[in-house]
Amino acid sequence: MSENNKLIFLDVDATLYSKEQRLVPESTIKAIHEAQENGHKVLINTGRPLVYFEKEILDIGCDGYLCSNGVHILLDGETIYHKTVPKTVVEQIKRICEENNIYGTFEGEKCSYFRDHNVDFHPHYGFMITAFDLAPYMAHEFTWDHVENPDKGTGLTYVADHLNISTDDCYAFGDSNNDISMFKAAGHGIAMGNACDELKEIAEYVTDSVNDDGIYHAFEHYHLI
């Protein structure tokens, strides 16, 4: 890449994708394509696994995808990083969940796995309460050392290093507090108009909301298009 080319990282929900309209705004798609024509790379950086991407997001033709908070990274159609939980640890978690009647999800590259159950999931607190009961097991039984702690920020840094691009030339777009690590890693953090206050406080620039052409306006502001 030329020294003038930039890396642009976009969160998905409420940044790239409008939850209210259930689509990617046309102005956002236009901005992405114009930025690519100018030599910049546009990448999705999300907590979602790749299997949860809507077809219309994949059809945009972004240059890369940082999935599951940085544990699975694809660039130009090739996987360049993939951090998985060792099978032995998965088996330990599965056993402890079964012994304690805990129902959760195992997230994979191609699908998610649910244990058979006949209970109702509480939208916010059900699993959190049960997780406290699991804490004594977590402290003593798991021996997996996960030093890297991947997140959106480490994913961004990994891609920048891979392409030999300074993080000063990275632009991160987001709306929620799980985008904070990405903002801290990038030279430029741009919060959507609909973003949470915590993210707006650390943003270099606050653009319009996802429904009001926020991505396009920010790309114009930074002369990416």
Q: What is the pLDDT of residues 70-87, one digit of tens each?
A: 999 999 999 999 887 667
Band the pLDDT of 129: cuts 50, 70, 90.
very low
Domain boundaries, the chain: 7-83+149-221, 87-141
Q: Which helix (H) or strand (E) holds 90?
A: helix 87-99
Closest Cα to residue 46, out of 174, 191, 166? 174
Q: Coil, strand or helix: which one is 199?
A: helix
pLDDT over 60 (residue 6): yes
- The pTM of this model reads 0.79
| % of the chain residues with pLDDT over 90 | 63
State which fold the 7-83+149-221 domain adopts: Rossmann fold (3.40.50)
pLDDT for res 91: 74
pLDDT for res 152: 97
